[in-house]
């Protein structure tokens, strides 16, 4: 049995990490997690089936020792780094997403080990030059986000992501010669100088990942005729995959994205997601001394984040929205008894609609994000219902608010039924929001006379 345990341990912790865990040079984190669970289950089930009590205790003791060994590779000591090899090595560092909002998409950095200079530095293109406060948010919607290139000792940076943020860290050592390694290092040093380090951050076209990708492409990958290794895909698809564990944020981002994000895009022009770059870097080839070799020579897991037990959240976005559908229907059915509650509900709903539409228009027209332009959601994210509601409360003439509610009803109905009209993906959740808007606007449009009739005695209702 002890032999079985040792074989199991070898299969997972030695053979699978990182050799079998790598696919085309990149680490398959999900597969890694699945294999770990399978092998651990295999070990404990095998132990439980031992007939001898003494054998069980020996096996359990052995398993305990083996499982105490961390599944991730630690940063090697400086003495080991300097004595192991010579020359300069470059690694792509991918930090997976964390709990914080700003870390939802993950992060990319570049590690440079110069054994001649005995330096081990991490170049970070995603460092904000301003604190995350109200002015930062204001600059976000107008397209002025000042970011910079910063340089840290690799050990310090890794310890921060490990101990403070608990985020998985993956390193892919690039299989390039000394000439290209020095050229990359020179470009990194140039970009990190005070005169060059600041730049205007753009979510899709100029961020920590796109800058690293263009750097790799310019210095070492342009000569490769086999690039790109994958067929083009839309911008919306990988965003949805990355945000699968954060449904509220995923719905909000999907709402902001326009039809251009559903069209196939050439991967070689803009890789903006860290996981996407990590996967694609595993595909290109470089000309080796004797034959074509993998672009990634040594992928490995530097740190594996501690996994928390998933908590089943009853209040999912779909549950909340369906509850609001029921509430809006009840308010419409019992309108005479719920006038003040209906008024509060509609003020919040119509105010949120106005804010959503303004957000799209600001990002499109002021910040210059073409990715949100020509958005189908602008058919319902309008100021019409809020204007109509205010107008109906202070003016007895109902023709104008009725027309505004009718326009909003039509726009929301079109999106609820037809989605993005064939050119844009509209999520089911957004369609439900449109159904809620339609119910409330039809109620306001059809029964406006009950709220403000010709007789102004009802004005206080």
pLDDT in tens, 273-282: 999 889 888 7
User: CA neighbours within 13 Å on the CB side: how many for 84?
Assistant: 10
Helix, strand, or coil (residue 68):
coil
Q: What is the pLDDT of residues 83-128, one digit of tens each?
A: 456 689 999 999 999 888 888 999 999 999 999 889 999 999 988 8
Backbone phi, psi, residue 457, to 5°: -65, -20
Helix, strand, or coil (residue 113):
strand
More confident residue, 46 or 73: 73
More confident residue, 386 or 47: 386
DSSP single-letter state for residue 252: H
Question: Average pLDDT of 363-389?
Answer: 95
Question: Average pLDDT of 209-228?
Answer: 76
**What is the pLDDT at residue 315?**
83
Residue located via tokens 């070492």: 220
**What is the pLDDT at residue 343?**
93
Of the listed ranges 68-72, 82-86, 173-177, the one predicted with least confidence = 68-72
More confident residue, 142 or 384: 384
User: Is the omega angle on the peptide bond into residue 344 within 30 degrees of 0, that is, cis?
Assistant: no
Question: Average pLDDT of 188-202?
Answer: 94
pLDDT-derived band at 31, boundaries 50, 70, 90: very low
Res 51 pLDDT > 50? no
pLDDT-derived band at 223, boundaries 50, 70, 90: low
**Which residues touch 404 (CB under 8 Å, ≥6 apart)?**
384, 385, 387, 388, 391
**What is the pLDDT at residue 130?**
85
Q: What percent of the chain has pLDDT over 70?
A: 71
**What is the pLDDT at residue 47?**
37
How far apart are alpha carbons 433 and 321 in whole angstroms?
Answer: 7
pLDDT-derived band at 290, boundaries 50, 70, 90: very low
pLDDT-derived band at 251, boundaries 50, 70, 90: very high
Alpha helices (H) in 68-141, listed in sequence order: 78-84, 134-141
Q: What is the pLDDT of residues 140-172, one digit of tens each?
A: 888 899 999 999 999 999 999 999 999 999 999
**What is the pLDDT at residue 208?**
93
**What is the pLDDT at residue 285?**
60
- Computed over every residue of the chain, the mean pLDDT equals 78
Question: Average pLDDT of 411-422?
Answer: 93
**Which residues touch 138 (CB under 8 Å, ≥6 apart)?**
none
Res 12 pLDDT > 80? no
End-to-end distance of the chain based on CA atoms, in angstroms? 80
**What is the pLDDT at residue 292?**
57
| Rg (alpha carbons) of the chain, rounded to whole number | 28
How far apart are alpha carbons 34 and 215 in whole angstroms?
Answer: 34
**What is the pLDDT at residue 222?**
60
Question: Average pLDDT of 308-332?
Answer: 87
Compute CA 168 distance to the chain's CA centroid, rounded to the nearest angstrom.
14
Of the listed ranges 38-47, 81-90, 226-235, the one predicted with least confidence = 38-47
Nearest to 375 by CA among 426, 427, 309, 312: 426
Res 137 pLDDT > 90? no
Question: Average pLDDT of 29-42?
Answer: 39
Res 365 pLDDT > 60? yes
């Amino acid at each position: 049995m002890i032999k079985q345990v040792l074989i199991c341990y070898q299969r997972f912790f030695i053979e699978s990490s990182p050799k079998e865990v790598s696919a085309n040079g990149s680490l398959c984190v999900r597969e890694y997690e699945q294999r770990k669970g399978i092998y651990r289950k295999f070990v404990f089930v095998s132990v439980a089936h031992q007939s001898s009590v003494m054998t069980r205790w020996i096996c359990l003791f052995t398993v305990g020792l083996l499982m105490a060994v961390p599944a991730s590779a630690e940063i090697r000591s400086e003495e080991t780094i300097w004595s192991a090899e010579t020359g300069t090595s470059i690694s792509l560092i991918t930090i997976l997403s964390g709990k914080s909002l700003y870390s939802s998409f993950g992060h990319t950095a570049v590690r440079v080990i110069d054994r001649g200079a005995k330096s081990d530095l991490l170049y970070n293109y995603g460092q904000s030059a301003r604190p995350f406060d109200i002015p930062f948010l204001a600059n976000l919607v107008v397209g002025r986000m000042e970011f910079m290139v910063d340089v840290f000792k690799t050990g310090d940076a890794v310890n921060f992501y490990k101990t403070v943020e608990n985020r998985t860290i993956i390193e892919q050592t690039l299989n390039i010669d000394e000439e290209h390694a020095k050229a990359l290092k020179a470009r990194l040093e140039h970009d990190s100088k005070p005169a060059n380090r600041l730049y205007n951050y753009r979510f899709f076209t100029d961020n920590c990942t796109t800058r690293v990708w263009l750097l790799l492409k310019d210095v070492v990958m342009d000569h490769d005729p086999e690039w790109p290794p994958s067929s083009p895909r839309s911008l919306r698809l990988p965003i949805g995959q990355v945000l699968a564990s954060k449904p509220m944020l995923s719905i909000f981002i999907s709402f902001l994205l326009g039809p251009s994000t559903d069209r196939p895009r050439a991967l070689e022009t803009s890789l903006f997601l860290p996981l996407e770059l990590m996967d694609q870097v595993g595909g290109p080839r470089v000309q080796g001394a004797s034959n074509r070799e993998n672009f990634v020579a040594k992928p490995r897991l530097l740190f594996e984040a501690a996994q928390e037990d998933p908590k089943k959240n009853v209040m999912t976005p779909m549950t909340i929205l369906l509850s609001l559908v029921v509430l809006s229907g009840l308010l419409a059915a019992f309108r005479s008894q719920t006038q003040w509650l209906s008024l509060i509900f509609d003020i919040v709903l119509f105010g949120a609609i106005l804010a959503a539409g303004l957000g799209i228009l600001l990002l499109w027209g002021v910040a210059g994000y073409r990715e949100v332009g020509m958005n189908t959601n602008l058919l319902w994210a309008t100021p019409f219902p809020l204007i109509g509601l205010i107008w109906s409360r202070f003016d007895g003439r109902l023709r104008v608010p009725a027309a505004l509610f009718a326009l909003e009803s039509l726009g929301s109905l079109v999106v609820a039924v037809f989605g993005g009209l064939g050119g844009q993906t509209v999520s089911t959740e957004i369609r439900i929001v449109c159904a809620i808007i339609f119910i409330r606007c039809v109620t306001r449009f059809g029964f406006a006379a009950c709220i403000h009739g010709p007789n102004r005695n009802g004005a206080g209702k």
